[in-house]
Amino acid sequence: MRGFLVSYLHLLFLLHDLNVVDKPVFGQYAFGGPAGAILRVGDEISDIERST
């Protein structure tokens, strides 16, 4: 029942926000880890994997 409710809420959100196609894009949503790691100004990026 809970899974159905979550899917239903997602569907409602998408229907409500269908005009997303007309909105500009800036930035990439992301997540990171490991948990507990400290990010500091000046840390170096060693590699970027890209979509083709």
Partner 1 sequence: MQRVELTDHGLRFDRSFALIYDPKSKRPEDSGTAPVVRHLTIKKVFRLALFQPSIDETWSNLTISYTGGSPPSSLTVPLTPSPLASAQKDTYLLSIFGTTAKGLDVGQDAADFFSKHLECDVRLVFIGGLGFRDIPGAAYVPNQHRSLLLALEEGMRPQKIKFADAAPLLLTSTTSEEDCRQRLQEQDRDEDLIIRIRTNIHIDVGSLPAWDEDTWVQLKLRSQSKGTSEITLRCIFQCVRCLSINADLGTGDMVTRDRQLYGLLAPDRRVNERFPRELPSPPFPFA
Footprint on this chain of partner 1 (rule: CB under 8 A): 6, 9-10, 12-14, 20-51
Q: Which is nearer to partner 1, 1 or 39 (CB)?
A: 39
Minimum CB separation of residue 40 from partner 1 in Å reads 4
**Could you give the CA distance from residue 45 to residue 47 in angstroms, rounded to a whole number?**
6
Q: Tell the smallest beta-carbon distance from residue 1 to partner 1 (Å).
A: 15
DSSP-based three-state secondary structure for 35: coil
d(CA 46, CA 31): 17
- Separation between Cα atoms, residue 5 and residue 23, nearest integer Å: 27
Minimum CB separation of residue 4 from partner 1 in Å reads 14
